[in-house]
Amino acid sequence: MPIGALSRASDVELDDDLRESPVSAARTAIGDHLRSLVYFTANGHDQIYLRSDLERGADVDRSAENERLGFPSMAAYGDSELGDYRFTVRAFSRGYVVRVIAGDRGAFATTDEMPISEFEEVATAIEKVLEEAR
């Protein structure tokens, strides 16, 4: 369940629907594997979910700054022979980060270890919510 602005930077203001919809979409797709979810724009971010068994302490500001690099990266891929950019997955020894960008907004989720095949489902669910919010 979303627990408010756990970590917020800059001018990101979210209404309740935009705060809850990405979390609901991600939890529907991957359930309790979802650890955290951060909404971001070029100017700021808002951690909109942190699983109840986790403690605050992750450097959300640094992670959000890194994920913002996805905005210029999308432009760099442009008209790729691979098609349109969809999402990015980063693998770590104890979990994953999946980043989705739609227009001028994005979200990244951290997850527990899980089958890599499940990332398309969570990315598609979050992307749909972000696109509807534009």
The two three-digit tokens of residue 93, written as one number: 């020894």
pLDDT at 11: 56
Domain 8-132 has CATH 3.30.450.30: yes
- Transcribe 1-68 into DSSP letters: ---S-SSEESS----HHHHHHHHHHHHHHHGGGEEEEEEEESS-EEEEEE-TTS-S-S-HHHHHHHHT
The two three-digit tokens of residue 90, written as one number: 């980063």
| Chain mean position to CA 34 | 11
Q: Where are the domains of the chain?
A: 8-132
Give 103-118 pLDDT, tens digit per residue: 889 999 999 999 988 8
Give 55-102 pLDDT, tens digit per residue: 887 789 999 999 999 998 888 887 788 888 889 999 999 999 999 999
pLDDT at 92: 93
Give 33-60 pLDDT, tens digit per residue: 999 999 999 999 999 999 999 988 778 9
